[in-house]
Amino acid sequence: MSEIEHPPGCTCGRHEEIGMDRRQALRSLGVLGAGLTLGPTVALGAFSDGARRAELTQARTVQQDKAQKFTLLYTSDIHSQLHTHDEFFLENGRPVYKKRGGYGVLKTMVDTLRKEDPENTIVIDGGDCFQGGGVAALSEGRAIVPLMNRVGYDLVLPGNWEVVYGKENMLKDLGGYRASKICANMWHEKLADFCGDMRDPNENLAGELIFPPYWITRLAGVKIGFIGYNDPLTPKRQSPEYSCGIKFTKPEANVARYIRHLREYEQCAMVFLVTHMGLAQQVDLANNPEVDGADLILGADTHERVRKPIDAKYSKVVEPGSFGSFLARLDVIVEDGRVKDS
């Protein structure tokens, strides 16, 4: 097994022993329920339904302060949809349109849910924010940055459309985020011949990761790790000129060693993959033994509303919908340094 690259902020040497029964944690993820709708203008595509969340919150161990709960809030594929808009639903087999989304509504939802437990709640986005609307296109993504910052994201992953204005603009736009950025399969690369007269101020970094591969935080007294992956097919799905100076690799190239690093060296109680690869690739990845040890794949790209995790051989997969119309939620109970339920 090759050496791990240690990004800035690595907590090496400051580890605490945290107990963890991973099989129990994986089994507990299987009880996650269906989604629900909250409020007049936004849907909450929840990984755990309202009754289940109430059950977790009101559990005797939590009420007696013997256990703690942490919460993940998750969006993806907002695609620069600034305002509340018509969203398509099927109800009793019939098409229905409802008003959903908008950054103002999204921020209100995030603020409301975060207030339940500010210290143990984090907000994640799975990419594709800078493309899809006129304001974003005219500003090359710049106009979206303050909106994302106002929502209050803690962690973001670049999606396939983050490259649409070129590498330099991508770095400037993402550099404006106050949130941490991760991606373990986007590398600096020397410009290809088809890039013409384009210049890359980072060409001396060829062969190095553009973003830190993972992020670690502490919630409810335990370490939680996140590893990020963008779609390795990005240069084939879109014009390769968008990706000039960027090399994409498959997650299988390094995901096993990063999972092992977070599990064994960093002593993370849970490990999540944040991916922007589309449902088919994400389910395929979850069936690959290389991801054994990843509790859940927080997927994106195909705009699916996966209200109940898809069980695969080595992990589980979800997607939270798109266009800012949905906010996914996962609650996890921790007791005595162990993940007990979710």
pLDDT attached to residue 56? 53
State the SS3 of the chain: CCCCCCCCCCCCCCCCCCCCCHHHHHHHHCCCCCCEEECCCEEECCCCCHHHHHHHHCCHHHHCCCEEEEEEEEECCCCCCCCCEEEEEEECCEEEEEEECCHHHHHHHHHHHHCCCHHHEEEEECCCCCCCCHHHHHCCCCCHHHHHHHHCCCEECCCHHHHCCCHHHHHHHHHCCCCEECCCCEEECCCCHHHCCCCCCCHHHCCCECCCCEEEEEECCEEEEEEEEECCCHHHHCCHHHHCCEEECCHHHCHHHHHHHHHHHCCCCEEEEEEECCHHHHHHHHCCHHHCCCCEEECCCCCCECCCCEECCCCEEECECCCCCECEEEEEEEECCEEEEC
Question: Comparing 35-39, 48-52, 256-260, 268-272, which segment has the lowest mean pLDDT?
Answer: 35-39
Question: Could you tell me which residue, 318 or 60, shows the higher pLDDT?
Answer: 318
232 CB-side CA count, 13 A: 11
pLDDT attached to residue 66? 66
Question: Residue 83 above 70 pLDDT?
Answer: yes
Of 30, 64, 26, residue with least CA distance to 48: 30
Question: Comparing 31-45, 235-249, 275-289, 298-312, which segment has the lowest mean pLDDT?
Answer: 31-45
Phi and psi torsions of 271, nearest 5°: -130, 125
pLDDT attached to residue 121? 98
Reported as a pLDDT band with limits 50, 70 and 90, residue 205 is confident
Tell me the longest C-alpha to C-alpha distance in the chain. Answer: 65
Q: What is the tens place of the pLDDT at every residue in 4-52?
A: 444 444 433 333 332 334 433 333 333 222 222 333 233 333 344 555 5
pLDDT attached to residue 200? 76
Tokens of 33: 């329920």
Q: What is the tens place of the pLDDT at every residue in 174-198?
A: 999 999 999 999 999 988 766 777 7
pLDDT attached to residue 307? 87
Q: What is the tens place of the pLDDT at every residue in 123-180?
A: 999 999 999 999 999 999 999 999 999 999 999 999 999 999 999 999 999 999 999 9
Of 309, 288, 289, residue with least CA distance to 298: 309
**Domain boundaries defined on the chain:** 22-60+68-333
Angle at 101 between CA 98 and CA 104, to 5 degrees: 135
The CATH code belonging to domain 22-60+68-333 is: 3.60.21.10
What value does the mean pLDDT of the chain take? Answer: 84
Question: Residue 2 above 50 pLDDT?
Answer: no
Q: How far apart are CA 47 and CA 331, in angstroms?
A: 8
Q: What is the tens place of the pLDDT at every residue in 68-78?
A: 999 999 999 99
Q: How far apart are CA 188 and CA 101, in angstroms?
A: 35
| Contacts of residue 30, Cβ cutoff 8 Å, sequence gap at least 6 | 309, 311, 316
Average pLDDT over every residue of 274-283: 98
